Structure 1
Amino acid sequence: MNSKRSLWQKLQAYKLHNNVYVVMMLAVSVLGSILIYVSPMRHNRFVPELALACATSLLASIFSLISDIYVKYKNQENDKLLEGIHEFGINDLHFNKLQLLEHLLKTCDREVWVSGYRLILTSKISPSLSQAIKQGAVLKILISPPWMDGFQLVYGENDRVIDNYCKVFSAIAKACREAGRPVEQVCEVRFTRKPLFSDTYKVDLHIVTGPYMHNRDEDDQRITANDFFTYNLIKKSRLYHLVENEYMTLWEEADSVLTWEDYAKVSEQIRIQDLREKEKIELMKEASQPMGSVRERSVKVG
């Protein structure tokens, strides 16, 4: 990691660059006011006098902002943590992933990526995902499901997850119907047998991820994933591209894909019947088809 950082890089790390932009805008406004004041407007003295008053007021604001920037800069000048995480590619640290995702999804209108095993958090933000769909977003959901090796290596065979899957998929299908958009064109769900090393979300240009640790929960002592912390990545950083590339690599090498038509039938069975988790898993498995058959079909259509 390079220890020599420019002044601008330090200002970005300390979250002071926006203050600099404001100072520049105010400086331009002062210059414009001065030009109005010195311009030949003898027939109307009100406008030049008003421009002079504005320039004076703006100058006071500029001096106040510069002082504020200087004080904050000096207070944080030796904060190597802020400089380090920014250079590493982390825009900010968060301890509430749910709150962060819901905030980002409010304005999402392009794309959402999701990855995970049990979709616990994703099921909690399903209303926000529905809203993003209505705003025009498309979804990619990558899951390591309980009928494949990756899930079983981490969680074994005792976790109840299909209800989470149904909550997410049904919310997406309903949002597509209400938006008048075909669900097959809006959301693609792929299943991978490979283990996932972190839950990754992409909301438009924001990638949200973070390390988590596996511990036993307090209720039934089963293994569960606990987020240590969450970070929002800087778009142009190397870490952003590495995480994005990891997701796309697993996405392209996925083993099977959800068929929405079959899922509609499966979800109805799960809803009206009192089924055990293993039976739900078998039904959900039947609602998927191998990626090979999908690619062959697309080649034939093409």
Structure 2
Amino acid sequence: MPLPRSVPVLSLLVLLSLVACSKSDTPSPAQPGQKKAETFVELRKGFKTQLKDTPSEHEPAPQPPKGVFEKVTYPAPLGSNVAYVTPVREGARRPAVLWIQGGFNWGIDESAWEVSPRDNDQSARAFREAGLVLMMPALRGCNENPGSREYFLGEVDDVLAALDFLARRPDVDPERIYLGGHSTGGTMALLVAASEPRVRGVFAFGPVAVPNYGETGTALDRAKGKELAIRSPVVFMSLIRVPTLVIEGADEGNTFAFDSLRKAAKDAPVRFVSVPGGTHFNILAPLTELLAQRILRGTPGELPTDLSEQDAVLAMRAEASAH
């Protein structure tokens, strides 16, 4: 799949300023002197999308290997959604990571546990192999889940519901839950980050400012105007209140989106790291391993989301030497 393209931030900001004038449509964040804006969660609830893909058939998520994952269901806005999650373990409560994979099919399958090449490992296995609780949810319209695919809209509420489910696990420390995602999953993670999630931090690998991916063969191709704006992280970056790390390979990837995302974030707690020598895919294995170790250590003053370019460069060098 070709890497996504962005659109000018100014056009989106102008768009939302116009949308704000309509009571029936999605308003923009409030400006000084204006009435307090609705939250991003409330905006989604009040927006009726015309862009949906209803699956003609449902392919159930396969059963995972025993001891690696359990196939479970979690309560979501449209009903019960399926997910993979590491088995419950006795002992002290542990940190947890919820991971959203890339692509436009937010389902789950064997890729969650099958061995992948080091230069393109999108399985987030580093977190479970380090001993963290790992959850990989399927979202609406995928696998046996109810509903239609909305592409960065209702799926955000599915992720929030999955986080609530994860926080209730008996072996999870609800104060040490992290959210991560790659590519379209990274874009989704930014939209969730703007939705006041109960997480300690967010890792967005290779997101874009707006979900303008050229021809995708999905309903997303028709997104324009308000339908595009409400799906665009760049519009809501300033609403982020949880520490968030946006990270991407500098040599090949979506770093073109950094300038617009950074400008839109204003003073939100968002860090941007462009990894020299890295691509959209080869940074995943070494940097998820580094993040997993930092989460486990829980060292005060060393938040995983504070990972620096130098930290990333050292991890990539170690990767090159070892492999």
TM-score (norm 2): 0.22
Which protein has the bigger helix share? 1
Computing the radius of gyration over CA atoms, which structure comes out larger, 1 or 2? 1
TM-score (norm 1): 0.23
Higher relative contact order (CA 8 A, sep 6+): 2
